[in-house]
Amino acid sequence: FQGIGIRIEDEVLITETGHE
């Protein structure tokens, strides 16, 4: 997954490879 934007609790978390 590269630059996947996940919307959780009205917050956008961007998960990158090798990054939590």
What's the pLDDT at 20?
52
For residue 15, the tally of other CB atoms under 10 A from its CB is 13
What is the mean predicted confidence (pLDDT) over 1-20?
61
What is the mean predicted confidence (pLDDT) over 3-16?
63
The pLDDT confidence band at residue 10, using thresholds 50, 70 and 90, is low
pLDDT value at 5 more than 60: yes
Measure the CA–CA gap between 9 and 11, rounded to whole angstroms: 5
Mean pLDDT, the chain, whole residue set: 61
Task: DSSP for 1-20, please give it.
Answer: --SEEEEETTEEEEE-TT--
The pLDDT confidence band at residue 13, using thresholds 50, 70 and 90, is low
- Rounded to two decimals, the pTM is 0.10
Measure the CA–CA gap between 3 and 14, rounded to whole angstroms: 6
